[in-house]
């Protein structure tokens, strides 16, 4: 989904009641919870990075009285360890934000908070959320506004801008409650800013069926199905070979213009 940014105007940004920091690894993850008044609701606690661990985490949240719609969970994009927990919590209605490790590290280093332990890292991530500048963007689907973090200038009280967004009519279908907002990229193109937002849903668009088909992928032909449908061929292979030779030539040249072309 993409939308064009219009001229900025002031607006209020809704704030969740609880902020959860998650430091995740391949086998385990640590969780810490803060309230908006900066009190610790849950000291760093360890869970298994598995379905059982996810269920125990949600049970712990229920005991603490955390309401999914009013709880913001932040975690770093470390390899692909975060993906299962991220989508599990998304399905349960939690607000989620994926943090860039370099951004979190820089923020913590400037405040002397960074430590090389998982327990303290989960607290650091929660404090980062509490500082507001972790939520690099927030999209209000009702007001059609985007809240973006920017470099704070002198005499500014906060480093956040509220900007109206124009969403093309075709993409309005992705603004329903069944679609979850994920990552986004801000692009400057031909004098305008465009925000490309990734959305996901658990609802499949396909209709279940008892029919099955086999697909074999290859180099000579892109795909061949069990129903004897052939995709690709000599012309497609020649196009791929031509681009391969072009990339090889540009990489061998190694100049700045060649790298830009790549």
Running DSSP on this structure, what letter comes out for residue 239?
Answer: H
**Residues 198 and 227 grouped into a single domain:** no
**Residues 226 and 184 grouped into a single domain:** no
**Residues 45 and 160 grouped into a single domain:** yes
Q: What is the share, in percent, of the chain residues with pLDDT greater than 70?
A: 81
Give the distance, in angstroms, between the CA of residue 149 and the centroid of all CA atoms in the same chain: 15
- Express each pLDDT in 140-174 by its tens digit: 778 888 877 665 555 655 556 788 888 888 888 88
Q: Is residue 1 pLDDT above 90, yes or no?
A: no
Q: Is residue 57 pLDDT above 90, yes or no?
A: yes
CA distance 30 to 117: 10
**Residues 169 and 62 grouped into a single domain:** yes
**Residues 110 and 227 grouped into a single domain:** no
Q: Is residue 133 pLDDT above 70, yes or no?
A: no
pLDDT bracket for residue 59 (50, 70, 90): very high
Average pLDDT of the residues of the chain = 78
Tell me the whole-structure pTM to 2 decimals: 0.50
Instruction: Supply the CATH number for residue 22's domain.
Output: 3.30.420.140
**Residues 94 and 126 grouped into a single domain:** yes
- Express each pLDDT in 199-208 by its tens digit: 777 776 677 7
- Whether 207 is covered by a domain: the verdict is no
**Residues 174 and 237 grouped into a single domain:** no
- Of the residues 202, 230, 248, which one is the last residue of a structural domain? 202
**Residues 22 and 112 grouped into a single domain:** yes
Task: State how many domains the chain has.
Answer: 2
Where in the sequence is the domain holding 230, given as residue range(s)?
215-261
CA distance 127 to 130: 5
- Whether 147 is covered by a domain: the verdict is yes
Which of 40-54, 101-115, 188-202: highest mean pLDDT?
40-54
pLDDT (0 to 100) of residue 114: 57
**Residues 159 and 100 grouped into a single domain:** yes
**Residues 198 and 238 grouped into a single domain:** no
């Amino acid at each position: 989904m993409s939308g064009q940014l219009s001229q900025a105007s002031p607006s209020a940004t809704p704030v969740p009641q609880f902020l959860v920091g998650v430091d995740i690894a391949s086998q385990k993850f640590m969780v810490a919870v803060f309230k908006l008044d900066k009190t610790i609701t849950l000291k760093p606690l360890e869970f298994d990075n598995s379905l059982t661990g996810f269920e125990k985490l949600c049970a712990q949240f229920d005991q603490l009285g955390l309401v999914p719609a009013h709880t913001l969970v932040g975690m770093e994009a470390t390899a692909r360890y975060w993906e299962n927990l991220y989508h599990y919590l998304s399905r349960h209605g939690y607000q989620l934000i994926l943090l860039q490790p370099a951004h979190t590290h820089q923020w913590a280093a400037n405040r002397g908070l960074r430590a090389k332990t998982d327990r303290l890292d989960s607290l650091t991530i929660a404090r980062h959320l509490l500082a507001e500048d972790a939520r690099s963007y927030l999209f209000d689907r009702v007001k059609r506004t985007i809240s973006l973090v920017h470099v704070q200038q002198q005499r500014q009280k906060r480093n956040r801008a509220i900007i109206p967004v124009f969403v093309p009519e075709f993409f309005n279908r992705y603004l329903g409650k069944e679609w979850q907002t994920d990552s986004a990229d801000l692009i400057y193109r031909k004098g305008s800013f465009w925000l490309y937002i990734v959305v996901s849903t658990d609802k499949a668009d396909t209709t279940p069926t008892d029919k099955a088909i086999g697909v074999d992928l290859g180099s000579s032909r892109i795909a061949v199905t069990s129903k004897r449908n052939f995709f690709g061929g000599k012309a497609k292979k020649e196009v791929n070979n031509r681009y391969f030779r072009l990339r090889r030539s540009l990489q061998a040249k190694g100049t700045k213009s060649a790298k830009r072309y790549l």
